[in-house]
Amino acid sequence: MNPTEPTTVPAVSPDDLFGLVRETIADVLGTSPDVIVESTDLRTEYGIDSLEMMSIGAQLERALNVRIAAEDLMRAETVGQAVAFLAERRAGRS
């Protein structure tokens, strides 16, 4: 593969993106993905810290092939807002 050629990223539907985010969060926090919903506030409900958020961001970066700063994810108040941010990032709008 030529490093100057753009990498093609497979399309991910909003439901698939939410599922991926749920699975990743559940893996890092050691909980069931079923308890992670769009309105879940990870800071309030799980006391997530910056190291856990960096781990989530790193896993999502690899899965989505997109650069994600932990600070950007920390700005999201809910999982749904984080998913919206990731969808925009994948679409190249941020």
Record the tokens describing residue 15, joined without a space: 């439901």
pTM above 0.75, yes or no: yes
Please measure the distance between the N-terminal and C-terminal CA atoms of the chain and give it in whole angstroms. Answer: 26
Q: What is the pLDDT of residue 28?
A: 95
- Read off the pLDDT of residues 43-88 as tens digits, 9 standing for 90 and up: 999 999 889 999 999 999 999 988 888 788 888 999 999 999 999 8
36: pLDDT strictly greater than 50? yes
Q: Which residue has the higher pLDDT, 41 or 5?
A: 41
